[in-house]
Amino acid sequence: MKIRVLGGLLALAVFIPFLVAGGTWFAWFALLLGIVGLYELATMKGINFFSIIGVIASIALASVLLPANYLNLVISIDDPHFIFYICGLVLLTMTVYKHKTFNFVDASVLMFGALYVGFGFRFLIQMRDMGIATIGYQLLVIWATDTGAYLTGRLIGKTPLAPEVSPNKTVEGSVGGVILAVIVSSIYLKYVPTSINQVSHIWLLTIIMSIVGQYGDLVESAYKRYFGVKDSGKFIPGHGGVLDRFDSMIFASFTFMIWLNFF
């Protein structure tokens, strides 16, 4: 427990200054986290990431993760998606010449991972660009959900939520997490001006983000179980890897940006 607490404090001490700084600082920090997350996926699959394969996959990730105003600081291109396509073609071509150690499934894991991790962190960057109060709203929703789910599950949790994937999670805990997320976010939005205060049915967005965030955690538990590992990595002492800490955030960031685009 001591290592977990110290690891959490250390992670916050590193994360918060970049979050406060925002802009380019936060964007490049998010890219670093994204590359570590993609490395964790590759390692679970048994792919040698410290190779030309990892470099190509990282370039594909960057083309997705960095919004145009930050990517253009490195390379000026009208449609960054072409970088992603080229990287995909190169990785597929490498399955011809490295077929004994690198195959179609490996290439698929890396390219899908670049999309999954890349867009998740890209949306976090875009939320930070909307203002620190806006991304603060999402952070509170996820943290309140985790806290409410843990406390409620410990007190009255009986009904398994997904017993084969995550035996300790309960339906009662999940509901408790959603309720606390709504309470905390409502108080936050009442007193803290954000760019989303006028978004239609913000309470419903909070509920959906809380639920989807919990499924982000379950999805990661599912693929960790598939790969036979306890944690995605050892990046944060006592907390596992980047994907262990940002699984809920990635899913919630997708939900947030989809909601803004539709409503």
Q: What is the pLDDT of residue 262?
A: 81
Q: What is the pLDDT of residue 45?
A: 94
Nearest to 214 by CA among 256, 170, 151, 182: 170
Q: What is the pLDDT of residue 123?
A: 96
Residue 168 has pLDDT above 90, yes or no: no
For the chain, give every domain's residue range: 21-129, 131-263
pTM: 0.92
The three-state secondary structure class of 79 is: coil
Long-range contacts, 83-88 (Cβ 8 Å, 24+): 83/59, 84/60, 84/111, 84/114, 87/56, 87/57, 87/59, 87/60, 87/63, 87/111, 87/114, 88/60
Confidence at 72, pLDDT banded by 50, 70, 90? confident
| Residues whose CB falls within 8 Å of the CB of residue 247, separated by 6 or more in sequence, listed in order | 216, 217, 219, 220
Whether residue 142 contacts residue 114, with contact meaning beta carbons closer than 8 Å, is answered with: no
Confidence at 81, pLDDT banded by 50, 70, 90? confident
% of the chain beyond a pLDDT of 70: 94
Rounded average pLDDT over 34-39: 96
Residue 55 has pLDDT above 80, yes or no: yes
Nearest to 64 by CA among 124, 133, 12: 124
Mean per-residue pLDDT of the chain:
90
The three-state secondary structure class of 74 is: coil
Residue 60 has pLDDT above 80, yes or no: yes
DSSP output for 16-64: HHHHHH-HHHHHHHHHHHHHHHHHHHHHHHT---SSHHHHHHHHHHHHH
Centroid of chain to Cα 142: 11
| pLDDT tens digits, 7-36 | 667 778 889 999 999 999 999 999 999 999
| pLDDT tens digits, 109-154 | 999 999 999 999 999 999 999 999 999 999 999 999 999 999 999 9
Q: How far apart are CA 86 and CA 56, in angstroms?
A: 9
Rounded average pLDDT over 100-111: 95
Of 80-84, 113-117, 207-211, give the lowest mean pLDDT range: 80-84
Element (H, E) at 168: strand 166-170
| pLDDT tens digits, 237-257 | 666 789 988 999 999 999 999
Nearest to 243 by CA among 28, 102, 42: 42
Residue 204 has pLDDT above 80, yes or no: yes
Q: What is the pLDDT of residue 234?
A: 75
Residue 200 has pLDDT above 70, yes or no: no
Confidence at 1, pLDDT banded by 50, 70, 90? low
Task: Name the burial class of residue 2, with classes exposed (0-12), middle (13-18) and buried (19+) by CB atoms within 10 angstroms of its CB.
Answer: exposed
Q: What is the pLDDT of residue 7?
A: 61
Q: What is the pLDDT of residue 263?
A: 72
Q: How far apart are CA 185 and CA 55, in angstroms?
A: 40
Centroid of chain to Cα 170: 22
Q: How far apart are CA 25 and CA 22, in angstroms?
A: 6
Q: What is the pLDDT of residue 78?
A: 77
